[in-house]
Structure 1
Amino acid sequence: MVIIDGLYHQTPALRHKEILAAMGRGVSVVGAASIGALRAAELQPFGMAGVGAVFRAYVNGEIDGDDEVAVGQEPGGRQRALTWPLVNLRHVLRIAREEGAADARTCAGLLEPLRAVYYPQRSTAAVLAVLRREGATHLADWLRDRRADDPYFGDLKRLDALEAIGAAVSGALPPAPGRVPAGAWDTGYHRRWVNETVAEDVGALTLATVDRLAYQQLFDSDFATRWAAFLEHHSQRPGDGQGVPLAERMARLGGDGDGAPPVYAVFRPVLDLTDRQTVGLLLAGETAADRATIVRYAARNAEVARTHPGFRPEAVVDAAARRVLLQLWKADAAQLDGEALSRGLGSGQHAVEALKTFLLGFLADARAARPVEAADAR
C-alpha cells in the first residue's frame, strides 16, 4: 500500500491506528510526498517505510510541521493542487540558488514571508506577489518563466509520489525499519472508528450500520431484551467473552445477591460491527419501515442544512434532545442513565447525542401525526 496524499482540515486526517491495523494484518505500507511522508516518519519505528525527499526531511528533523505539505485542492473528482506547499517552495528556492536566479541570503529571507501566507491562499499568483513585494523581482520572473515551460516545475511532492509508485511497481520498496507490536492498534477507540465505516446495501440503499443500530436502541421498545440476549451471547463466546454464562461471571464478582447492579451496568463490551453475528443479533427486530424512516430522517437533516447553512445534527441543544428522549422512553431524569445502559448506549448523555441524528425527522413525523390524532379525537 502506497500512501501519498489525503484530506484533513474539513475531514478527519488519516489515522495512525488505521495504518497500524493494516500493517498488523501483513500489509506492507510505504509513505511519500505529503501526509504519506509525514505518517511514514511518525510510524517508522512500527514498520512503515518511507520514500523521497519530503520523507527524509521529516526523518532528519529539517521540517516538522504538517503545514509543510498542506495544499488547497480543487473540489470534485480531480483534486488538483491549487496552492503551493512549503516543501515545494523550499525546493524551488534551492534550485534558484543552484541556478544563480537568487543568492543564498535572498532565498533564506523569503521563506518566512511565503510561510506567512495561509496555505489555501498560497497560489502561484500569491507566491509571485510576495517575491516581488520582497524585492526578488528577478526570482519572480525566473519562476514565472520556468512554470510556463513546465507546469510541474518545483513540484517536489509529485517527484516523491512518482518515486514511491515506481518503487511499489518494481518491488524495490525499502525494508521496514521496525515491526508493529501485536494488537497495538486494537483499542476501543479504533474499534469505534471502524464501526463508523461499516455500511450495508439494503435494497437500493446503503445505510451505515451505526445508524441502523442507534435507531433500534432508541426507538425499539423491546431493545433492552435484545441487548440482554447479546450480552449473554458475547459472554459465552471464547476470547473476549471468556466463554462462560453471564450468571457465572456475576457470581464470580459477588454480584448475584440482592442489591447487586444489573448485568448491563457491569458488562459493557465495545461492539464489533464488522462481525455479522453481532449485527444479526442486535438488528433482529429491524423492519423495512425502520430503514425507510432512517433514510427519511437523513433527508430531513439534509433539507435543513440547505436552508440553514452550517447546521449539523450534533449542534442540536442537549436539553431539547433530552426532553424528547424522556418522553419517548416514558422515563424521568433519574432513570435516564439506567435506561440507556439497558439498551447498550453507555450513558444517558450518549443516548442524547445519538438521538440528535434523528431528532428533526422524528419531530417532523410527530407534527404531521397531530392533525390525524386530533381528528380521531373528534
Structure 2
Amino acid sequence: MVIIDGLYHQAPALRHKEIIAAMGRRVSVVGAGSIGALRAAELQPFGMVGVGAVFRSYWSGEIDGDDEVAVGQEPDGRQRALTWPLVNLRHVLRIAEREGLADLRTCAELLEALRAVYYPQRSMAAVLAVLRREGAAHVGEWLRQRRSGDPYFGDLKRLDALEAISAATSGTLPPAPGEVPAGVWDTAYHRRWVNEAAAEEVDGLTLGALDRLTYQQLFDPCFARRWAAWLDHRSNHPGVGSGMWLAERLECLVGAAGGAPPVWALFRPVVDLTDPQAVRVLLAGETAADRAAIARCADRNAEAARSRPGFRPEAVVDGAARGVLLRLWRVDSEGLDAEALSRGLGSGQHAVDALKKFFLGFLADAREARSMEVGDAR
C-alpha cells in the first residue's frame, strides 16, 4: 500500500491507527510525498517505510510541521493543487541558490517570508508578490519562466510520489524498519472506527452496520434480551484466555460479594460489526421495514441539509430527542440510564445522541401514521 496524499483541513486526516491496523495484518505500507511522508516518519518504528526527500526531511527533523506539505485544492472534485506547499518552495529556492540567483541567507529569508502566508492563500500570484516585496523579483521571473516550460518544475512532492510508486512496483523498496507488536492496533477506538466504516447492500439499500445496530438498540422493544444473549456469547468467547458463561461469572460475584449487579452493568464490550456472529445475534430482530426506515431517516436528514444549509442531526435539541426516547421506551428520566445500558448504549445521554440521527425520519413516519389513522377513521 502506497500512501501519498489525503485531505485533512475539511475532513479528519488519515489516522495512524488505520495504518497500524493494516501493518498489523502484514500489509506493507509505504509513505511519500505529502501526508504519506509525514505518517512514514511518525510510524517508522512500527514498520512503515518512507521514501523520498520529503520523508527524509521529516525523519531527520529538518521539518516538522503539517503546513510543510499542505496545499489548497480545487473544490470541484478534481483535487488539483492551487497553492504552493513549503517543501516545494524550499526545493525551488535551493535550485535558485545553486544556479546563482540568490545566496543562502537570502533564500532562507525568502522562505520565511513565504512561510508567513497562510497555506490556502499561497498561490503562484501570492508567491510572486512576496518575492517582489522582498526585493527578489528576478527569482519570481525565473520561477515563472521555468514553470511555463515545465508545469511540474519544483514539484518535489510529485517527484517523491513517482519514486515511491516506482520502488513499490519494481520491488526495490528498502526493508521495513520495524514490526507492529501483536494487538497494538486492536483497541476499542479502532473497533469503533471500523464499525463506522462497515456497510453492506441489503434489499437494494447500502446501509451502515452501525446504523442498523443503533436502530435496533433504539426501536426494538426486545433488544435488551438480545443484548444479554450477545453478552453471554461474548463472555464465553473473549478471544484471550478461557471463557466463562455469564451465569458462572455472576455466581462467582454473588459468592464473593453477596450480590451482583445486572450483567449489562458489568460487561460493556465494544461490538465488532465485522464479526458475522455479532451481526447475526444483534440484528436477529431486524426486518425489511426497519431497513427501509433507516434509509428514510437518511433521506430526511439529507433533505433538511439541502433546505437548511449547515443542518446536522447532532443539532437536534437534546430535550426533544430525550422526550421521544422516554415515550418510546416508556421510562421516566430516572430510568433512562438503566434502559440505555440494558440495550448496550452506554448511557442515557449516549442514547439521546444516537436517536438524533433518526429523529426527523421518526417524526415524519409518526405523522404519516397518524394521518393514515385519521383517514381510516373517516
Tell me the TM-score normalized by structure 1.
0.95
Equivalent position of 2:121 in the other structure: 121
Q: Which amino acid aligns with 2:224?
A: A
**More displaced 10-residue stretch of structure 1: 164-173 or 232-241:** 232-241
| 1:76-91 aligned within 5 A | 76-91=76-91
Relative to 1, partners in 2 of residues 1:105 and 1:274: Cα closer, same or farther, differing over 3 Å?
same
Matched, 1:136 2:139: no
Equivalent position of 2:278 in the other structure: 278
Equivalent position of 1:251 in the other structure: 251
Relative to 1, partners in 2 of residues 1:373 and 1:204: Cα closer, same or farther, differing over 3 Å?
closer
- State how far apart, in whole Å, the 2-side matches of 1:313 and 1:108 are: 49
Kept in 2, the 8 Å contact 1:340–1:347? The answer is: yes
Equivalent position of 1:297 in the other structure: 297
Deviation at 1:29, TM superposition (A): 1.1
Secondary structure in 2 matching 1:239: coil
Equivalent position of 1:347 in the other structure: 347
Residue deviations 1:12-52 (CA, integer Å, cap 9, x gap): 11111111111111111111111111111011111111110
| 1:1-378 aligned within 5 A | 1-237=1-237, 239-240=239-240, 242-254=242-254, 260-374=260-374
Q: CA RMSD in A?
A: 1.8
Q: Which amino acid aligns with 1:158?
A: R
Q: Which amino acid aligns with 1:198?
A: A
Relative to 1, partners in 2 of residues 1:150 and 1:255: Cα closer, same or farther, differing over 3 Å?
farther
Relative to 1, partners in 2 of residues 1:254 and 1:352: Cα closer, same or farther, differing over 3 Å?
same
Residue deviations 1:182-215 (CA, integer Å, cap 9, x gap): 1111111111111111001113221100001101
- State how far apart, in whole Å, the 2-side matches of 1:276 and 1:192 are: 16
Kept in 2, the 8 Å contact 1:234–1:241? The answer is: no
- State how far apart, in whole Å, the 1-side matches of 2:208 and 2:238 are: 28
Kept in 2, the 8 Å contact 1:198–1:273? The answer is: yes
Tell me the TM-score normalized by structure 2.
0.95
Q: Which runs of 4+ in 1 moved over 6 A?
A: 255-258
Identity, in percent, stands at: 77
Kept in 1, the 8 Å contact 2:253–2:260? The answer is: no
- State how far apart, in whole Å, the 2-side matches of 1:255 and 1:354 are: 37
Q: How many residues align?
A: 378
Kept in 2, the 8 Å contact 1:84–1:124? The answer is: yes
Residue deviations 1:62-86 (CA, integer Å, cap 9, x gap): 1001111111122455322221111
Deviation at 1:289, TM superposition (A): 0.9
Relative to 1, partners in 2 of residues 1:187 and 1:255: Cα closer, same or farther, differing over 3 Å?
farther
Kept in 2, the 8 Å contact 1:255–1:261? The answer is: no
Q: Which amino acid aligns with 2:66?
A: D
Q: Which runs of 5+ in 1 are unaligned?
A: none
Deviation at 1:237, TM superposition (A): 2.1
Residue deviations 1:224-269 (CA, integer Å, cap 9, x gap): 1111111112222252584221110112223798753111111111
Q: Which amino acid aligns with 1:124?
A: M
Kept in 1, the 8 Å contact 2:250–2:260? The answer is: no
